[in-house]
Copies of this chain bind each other. A is one copy, B any other.
């Protein structure tokens, strides 16, 4: 694996006071925003290049399966790394691994399954060709 592109895919978030809830831990819903931020950072440019919007296509989330492993607290620096876990005909699953920066302590481990939706018909369409290559390329670079 090439080290630098991998690092480029790492999202970094510092936990602030407004991320916390009653328990002074990051709230369970807020983690999903952290994961979404990371997906934007990783995939937005590529989807733009693929011309998804112009083709009337968009990726839509159909399932999130998220393990909360260790509560994140004020000042924690979180890193998120995304990998393509599964490629199906009409859906792909992205694994999003969030850990304490510089350690192997997992904070959150999530599998996010998305489908490619034709926004006019509201139906899922196959993920293939250039777009598929583009998504896979993020893993091998």
Which A residues have a C-beta under 8 Å from some C-beta of B? 14, 16-24, 27-30, 32-33, 36-37, 40, 58, 60-68, 71, 74
- Contact in complex: B23, A21 (CB < 8 Å): no
Secondary structure of the A side of the interface?
mixed
- Contact in complex: A28, B20 (CB < 8 Å): no
- Contact in complex: A20, B17 (CB < 8 Å): no
- Contact in complex: A22, B29 (CB < 8 Å): no
**In the complex with contacts A62-B67, A66-B64, A68-B63, A27-B18 CB distance below 8 A:** yes
Contact sample, A vs B, 15 pairs, CB 8 Å cutoff = A16-B36, A18-B33, A20-B22, A22-B24, A27-B36, A28-B36, A28-B61, A29-B32, A29-B36, A32-B32, A60-B68, A63-B65, A63-B67, A64-B68, A65-B66
- Contact in complex: A68, B61 (CB < 8 Å): yes
Closest chain B residue to A75 by CB distance?
B44
Among A21, A24, A30, A71, max chain B CB count under 10 A is at A21
Q: How far is the CB of A120 from chain B (nearest CB, A)?
A: 14
Q: How far is the CB of A94 from chain B (nearest CB, A)?
A: 13
